[in-house]
Structure 1
Amino acid sequence: MADSQAQEKLLKRINELAHKNKAEGLTVAEKAERKQLRDQYLKNFREAFRSNIEMMRIFDKDGKEVTPEKVRQIQRKKGLRDD
């Protein structure tokens, strides 16, 4: 929950800076803050996305697991699989 709230807070501030930029422009400090916030937001997004992919198991319509081997290897390395 805290991660979600942190992401929302980052996004809210990014949007505030975007609106200010359109309306009146940003100071040098605000531009630096915007870049730092965007970088942090993307880092957090990528980490969450990677985690979701690594946890995923894929099955075909017949119920046979077809998770790509690369993902299976990552899951085994992290102790998420026992096969």
Structure 2
Amino acid sequence: MSEKQKHATAYWKQNLKYLVILLSIWFAVSYGAGIFFKDALNAIKIGGFPLGFWFAQQGSIYVFVILIFVYVRLMNKLDKKFGFNE
């Protein structure tokens, strides 16, 4: 394998690592907080609404948008590290 291919392979491995971590966080928030742990979270109220309901309706969307910005930042750093930035 050439040096260029090793470089590209390392880049994509790191990219996939970021994707797995960020999607796991989103899954944990979306399904974990919104569905699996909703009964425990419903004991806590935010603005008069149960926390489990809030995560199912709003929280998972907010977390997803935040994760998009985190992914962009991580990828910009990764691009600079591997010399793929513009």
TM range (shorter): 0.3 to 0.5
More strand by share: 2
Instruction: Give the TM-score, by structure 2 length.
Output: 0.41
Larger Rg: 1
Greater helix fraction, Structure 1 or Structure 2: 2
TM-score, reference length from structure 1: 0.42
